[in-house]
Copies of this chain bind each other. A is one copy, B any other.
Amino acid sequence: MTTDGTTEHVHGYTAEKSSHLKRLRRIEGQIRGLQRMVEEDKYCIDILTQVSAATKALQSFSLELLEEHLSHCVVEAAQRGGPEAEEKVREASDAIARLVRS
């Protein structure tokens, strides 16, 4: 949504925008918590546990975003058909590969 209120293109995740922002702020809080733990010389294993939690939270965020992308952008492109559909599938597949490998 542009600032002048016109809608150029509403992505799949727009409806969930505030829930996404809330999640990301929570993850930001986890990263700041990690900084505090390092500053206070907390035990390495406890820091690693927190890193795993933050990584999992990022992963859940990306899986949700991906599902919204598939159910909006990819489905709509498929309905319009043609090379754009193929392009969207390839693009989504590349993003999935990056997630699986990260």
Q: A residues within 8 Å of B by Cβ?
A: 1, 9-14, 17, 20-21, 24-25, 27-28, 31-32, 34-35, 38-39, 41, 43-45, 47-49, 51-56, 58-59, 61-63, 65-71, 73-76, 78-79, 81, 85-86, 89-93, 95-102
Contacts and interface: CB of A to CB of B under 8 A. Distances in A.
Contacts of A39: 17, 21
Contacts of A58: 51, 54-55, 58
Query: For the complex formed by this chain, how many copies does it contain in all?
Result: 4
Contacts of A44: 11-13, 65-66, 68-69, 73
A100 B9 CA distance: 29
SS class, residues of chain A in contact with chain B: helix
A96 B98 contact: no
Contact of A102 (B25, B43, B52): B52
B49 A100 contact: no
Cβ-closest 3 pairs across A and B: A78-B78, A67-B93, A44-B69
